[in-house]
Structure 1
Amino acid sequence: MKRQTGGIVLQQLFNDLIKQEVKPFLAKHGFAKKSLNFSKTTEGLFYMFNFQKSSGNSAENVMFYVNCGIYAAELAQIQSKEILTAPQEAECHFRARIGEIAQAAPDRFAITPDTDRDELRKTLLGGLEEVIRFYDKMTRARSIVDYYISGPFLHLGEESFHLLLQSNDTAAANQYLKALQEKYGAENRWAIFENKYEAIFNKYGVEFNKL
């Protein structure tokens, strides 16, 4: 019974953390709460935080993740998808765990009987604040594309080339292509991506430089 009670107490600490600390903090920044999701909409962009409880929780350890996401209507149009007014985290075009953006925040938080609540609160709210500053710089679909180009990452590659070539930014498109070729060109799967990218370049009448 003691372990069960401990689990209930720790779960209540998590609930209190969300209700008493996270909700008012994010509300000040324009985020509305629905279940364990907090979201804010601007023209063409949807920003969100998703609090995901770990499936491995126990009576002595309540763990959770903070997932960050940005959805862009313009990228949904490029994907020929229906534009969503309330996308789920998995449907966002930009996705990251809080620790990928806020260096002081862990990828996974844990509440145990020994957890320092003030330290947990400070770390979590500090991480959320850093992500909000990051969100403030992500003001359009091109911001998301530029983030993945800087990797360079394959994620959103097709959408990125469409966006760049639609806006006649062939220099950025060629630079991104060259960076991808240098990073992934030796991999067997590269031929699949190369064919897709070449078709996009052809659609806009832009010369495609193969490896």
Structure 2
Amino acid sequence: MLQQLYSDLIKQDVKPFLSKCGFAKKSLNFYKVTDSLIYMFNFQKSSGNSADNVMFYVNCGIYAAELAQLQSREILTAPKEAECHFRARIGEIVKSVPDRFSITPDTNMDELRKTLLSGLEEVIHFFDTMTSARSIVDYYTLGSFLHLGEESFHFLLQSNEVAAAKNYLKALQEKYGTEQRWSIFENKYNAIFNKYGVESDKL
């Protein structure tokens, strides 16, 4: 019964809402394709589900063919969430929404529906600010994230944005430099700088 409530939620609420926003459903993924990016939502059921508790996650992704080329990977038309260049759970983007939704016999489905749809709407507003591969690179470099680090350095150095690349390297070193694994990343990043004939200015 709870499984049916989940299926109905996707079919009767999520699908019509995302369709209006330009997303097409393929399995448990919803895609919106533009000239430069593919935006997607992935609905992932928890492995710990039971007869009286159906839990699910909403994963959000953005795929950029330009970044896939930097990775020397095949260009995809319907990437899985794990193949996207930007990846986040809905709760990371919309703080008022839980990372994991749960349907139990006591769940108020109207409240859950309202929370989920308003969260999806907020993510779509966020997607609207991410309009290019550069937007994704900026997101991860400004936040000093290791995720997409190598691709970001390639992207910046190919564009001859040496100062931005060096600032990003400095920020990463300040954030992660004391960790044992840092030397592995540093060697990778230095190799990328060398490829473009740029001194990485080791700190």
Q: TM-score, normalised by structure 2?
A: 0.98
**Structure 1 segment 3-152 matched on structure 2, within 5 A:** 9-152=1-144
Runs of at least 5 residues in structure 1 that lack an aligned partner in the other structure? 1-8
The answer for the alignment partner of 2:175 in structure 1 is 183
- Provide the aligned length of Structure 1 versus Structure 2: 203
Matched position secondary structure for 2:9: helix
CA distances 1:169-202 after superposition (whole Å, capped 9, x unpaired): 1121111011001011111211111111111111
> Which of 160, 166, 173 is the matching residue for 2:165?
173
* In 2: Cα distance, 1:138 partner to 1:90 partner: 18
Moved more, 145-154 or 158-167: 145-154
Matched position secondary structure for 2:59: strand
* In 2: Cα distance, 1:43 partner to 1:61 partner: 40
Structure 1 residue 44, shift from structure 2 partner: 2.2
The percent identity for this pair of structures is 80
Runs of at least 5 residues in structure 2 that lack an aligned partner in the other structure? none
Structure 1 residue 115, shift from structure 2 partner: 0.6
Larger radius of gyration: 1
Superposed structure 1 runs of 4+ greater than 6 Å apart:
none
Q: TM-score, normalised by structure 1?
A: 0.94
The answer for the alignment partner of 1:159 in structure 2 is 151
* In 2: Cα distance, 1:35 partner to 1:200 partner: 38
Structure 1 residue 210, shift from structure 2 partner: 1.0
AA aligned to 1:71 is: Y
